[in-house]
Copies of this chain bind each other. A is one copy, B any other.
């Protein structure tokens, strides 16, 4: 394994724009980055000079290695400006690589292109803690989101067309067309329909002996149009597709239907990509996706439509994680980006697993060797700890079998002041006075929010490090208050980090703390065994019990109110056998509660569940505590209006 070649930073003040910083750094060729991580040539598929896919069979080769250290980065309840989780993830990895010579991966989500051209611009960290090249990171990467969209939309087309054909043909005609008679009198049954034959128990007798009733059962899915949950997707902020009527052309003979589009990252296929442990696992999950119920109340799946093999074929390259690099040349896995608003908001299990093996030590390494040689995988969960972290632990970790060694909670003085009663903070508007000058009282008040997140993380038994993401107007006294309250709430340490302005160097103290914490070297860790507990059991507890566990133990609600639509769904999913799945709760990220206005640590409130939906293939139910917009819109002035390609073929104005 060649030695890590650090890319030197040329730190400039004031910090230039993200894109300027990105463009002024010359990345290594991606094959060099891959080699430095221990990825063999045959396992690496470059896509251009700065991106590559890593083949899944690398897991077989590294099977016997012990995993590296698994570090989860989460945050406190944020402001709309964001508190720097991605920046911290990247900066921490840069420091571990550059300052401590550890093999350290930053594992992040692939951004959706919709918002890139909408309001927000790109996202890959920021300042001197970034994934580069930033334009490639924010555009297609290796096309995974496109593959997700194709797979999602093929299933949608198959669903609507199947209903059309069932509505316009007799059983006999459907049978003749679906399974045409061959010259020898036998039937040509498409491979993809065998699972349905088995599901119906029809594989026990020869096709020639099927009764008319059995043939009818096989050829008709009898989908109840009012139960369809599958929508089409597009990776664009196209608000006019939120609600659409399809089938209005004369060729569809009046079979119109109300439906809509989601943004591609909201597709269940994306969640499956994030939560699959192998190609085979993905194949099975795609088959299990439920798209509707039949008129008799049975779930209709992707497998029933004969689509699961084709969707797997479309996704067979997308499931391989993508490797890129940070500004300092440390490796980054960018893979999957399920929509945090309704899904887990975390990058893929396979990226984490591959990185953990690459960062790992031989199975027989001594504790001293492990301390010296172990690498680190810094993986990010969307939103705050109590939303993103909870989902990460109860859904992603349950699916992967992995548990984090350290949980980092990112906090800023600014956001904590909001929780202490500061004025509203809005993107684009100037910051009120309390945020640009010292205010220890307000900060101390707001630290209750941080303390609750720490206590929530400690409920899982995890070791917590607070990362104080430094801003220029912060004072030492303010940082001291955060440290004091963090330790009192159960954090192992609280450390100021200045990676945005200084890159890895600025995160060196944080990195040192993470290393010590991961190897349990803090005095407070001594004599306390390493543990990990899920918040709730999936088997044997009802849907209501699981939701209550999250709402009460994590969000601080006094009780949960299940509105009628939710009650009905609970009945339906329980009857369909889906009550043993973990739960993803969709709510605002701007409060512990369902009400974005409730800052600090709200308590004693009633938490409403309006509706429950299912992602059976991905393996969870999601409960809606708010109206969640699943496709954003474009503003009057949009990001795209500033984008141009210059004469050198470089993108300008994207960030």
Bound-complex Cα distance A158 to B239 (A): 10
Say whether A634 faces chain B, with CB atoms less than 8 Å apart. Answer: yes
The answer to whether A649 and B279 touch across the interface, beta carbons within 8 angstroms, is yes
Chain B residues positioned under 8 Å from A234 (CB to CB): 153, 232
The answer to whether A249 and B238 touch across the interface, beta carbons within 8 angstroms, is no
Instruction: Please tell me which stretch of A139-147, A292-300, A454-462, A555-563 contacts chain B, meaning at least 4 of its Cβ atoms lie within 8 angstroms of it.
Output: A139-147
Count A interface residues, CB 8 Å. Answer: 93
How far in angstroms is the closest Cβ of chain B from A115?
12
- Which of B143, B193, B638 sits near A143, CB closer than 8 Å? B143
Say whether A528 faces chain B, with CB atoms less than 8 Å apart. Answer: no
The answer to whether A240 and B246 touch across the interface, beta carbons within 8 angstroms, is yes
The answer to whether A177 and B636 touch across the interface, beta carbons within 8 angstroms, is yes
Of residues 51 through 83 on chain A, the ones whose CB sits less than 8 Å from some CB of chain B are: 53, 56
Chain B residues positioned under 8 Å from A227 (CB to CB): none
The answer to whether B649 and A238 touch across the interface, beta carbons within 8 angstroms, is no
Say whether A641 faces chain B, with CB atoms less than 8 Å apart. Answer: yes
Contacts A117-B310, A649-B316: A640 and B238 contacting too (C-beta < 8 A)? no
The answer to whether B306 and A645 touch across the interface, beta carbons within 8 angstroms, is no
Bound-complex Cα distance A635 to B257 (A): 19
The answer to whether B177 and A635 touch across the interface, beta carbons within 8 angstroms, is yes
Smallest CB gap from A245: residue in B:
B245
Chain B residues positioned under 8 Å from A248 (CB to CB): 243-245, 258, 260
Say whether A164 faces chain B, with CB atoms less than 8 Å apart. Answer: yes
Say whether A483 faces chain B, with CB atoms less than 8 Å apart. Answer: no
Contact with B along A335-378 (1 / 0, CB 8 A): 00000000000000000000000000000000000000000000
The answer to whether B150 and A235 touch across the interface, beta carbons within 8 angstroms, is yes
Instruction: Please tell me which stretch of A40-48, A444-452, A510-518, A570-578 contacts chain B, meaning at least 4 of its Cβ atoms lie within 8 angstroms of it.
Output: A40-48
The answer to whether A192 and B240 touch across the interface, beta carbons within 8 angstroms, is no
- Which of B56, B153, B637 sits near A177, CB closer than 8 Å? B637
The answer to whether A280 and B157 touch across the interface, beta carbons within 8 angstroms, is no
Copies of this chain in the oligomer:
2
How far in angstroms is the closest Cβ of chain B from A177?
4
Say whether A623 faces chain B, with CB atoms less than 8 Å apart. Answer: no
Bound-complex Cα distance A16 to B640 (A): 50
The answer to whether B46 and A636 touch across the interface, beta carbons within 8 angstroms, is no
Smallest CB gap from A309: residue in B:
B644
Say whether A653 faces chain B, with CB atoms less than 8 Å apart. Answer: yes
Say whether A160 faces chain B, with CB atoms less than 8 Å apart. Answer: yes
The answer to whether B242 and A637 touch across the interface, beta carbons within 8 angstroms, is no
- Which of B236, B242, B309, B636 sits near A249, CB closer than 8 Å? B242
Contact with B along A175-195 (1 / 0, CB 8 A): 001111000000000111100
Say whether A10 faces chain B, with CB atoms less than 8 Å apart. Answer: no
Bound-complex Cα distance A149 to B653 (A): 22
Smallest CB gap from A48: residue in B:
B45
Contacts A48-B45, A143-B146, A161-B633: A640 and B244 contacting too (C-beta < 8 A)? no
Bound-complex Cα distance A310 to B118 (A): 11
Say whether A314 faces chain B, with CB atoms less than 8 Å apart. Answer: yes
Say whether A579 faces chain B, with CB atoms less than 8 Å apart. Answer: no
The answer to whether B312 and A164 touch across the interface, beta carbons within 8 angstroms, is no
Say whether A252 faces chain B, with CB atoms less than 8 Å apart. Answer: yes
How far in angstroms is the closest Cβ of chain B from A439?
25
The answer to whether A313 and B146 touch across the interface, beta carbons within 8 angstroms, is no
Chain B residues positioned under 8 Å from A200 (CB to CB): none
Contacts A252-B240, A636-B169, A637-B178: A644 and B312 contacting too (C-beta < 8 A)? yes
Bound-complex Cα distance A652 to B149 (A): 21
- Which of B139, B239, B312, B314 sits near A251, CB closer than 8 Å? B239
The answer to whether B642 and A191 touch across the interface, beta carbons within 8 angstroms, is yes
How far in angstroms is the closest Cβ of chain B from A121?
12
Of residues 413 through 455 on chain A, the ones whose CB sits less than 8 Å from some CB of chain B are: none
Say whether A113 faces chain B, with CB atoms less than 8 Å apart. Answer: yes
Bound-complex Cα distance A149 to B232 (A): 14
Say whether A468 faces chain B, with CB atoms less than 8 Å apart. Answer: no
Say whether A207 faces chain B, with CB atoms less than 8 Å apart. Answer: no
Say whether A9 faces chain B, with CB atoms less than 8 Å apart. Answer: no
Say whether A654 faces chain B, with CB atoms less than 8 Å apart. Answer: yes
Say whether A217 faces chain B, with CB atoms less than 8 Å apart. Answer: no
Of residues 569 through 594 on chain A, the ones whose CB sits less than 8 Å from some CB of chain B are: none
Say whether A643 faces chain B, with CB atoms less than 8 Å apart. Answer: yes
Chain B residues positioned under 8 Å from A140 (CB to CB): 143, 146-147, 150, 317
A sample of 26 cross-chain residue pairs with beta-carbon separation below 8 angstroms, ordered by A number, consists of A47-B142, A48-B53, A139-B317, A140-B143, A140-B147, A140-B150, A153-B236, A157-B239, A157-B241, A160-B238, A177-B635, A178-B636, A191-B652, A191-B653, A192-B642, A192-B643, A192-B644, A193-B641, A239-B251, A244-B244, A306-B638, A309-B643, A309-B645, A312-B644, A313-B651, A316-B645
Question: Which 9 residue pairs are nearest across A and B when measured between Cβ atoms?
Answer: A243-B249, A190-B641, A146-B146, A309-B644, A310-B640, A243-B248, A157-B238, A242-B249, A143-B143
Given known contacts A244-B245, A313-B643, what 7 new A-B pairs fall within 8 Å (CB)? A142-B143, A150-B235, A239-B252, A244-B248, A251-B633, A309-B643, A312-B644
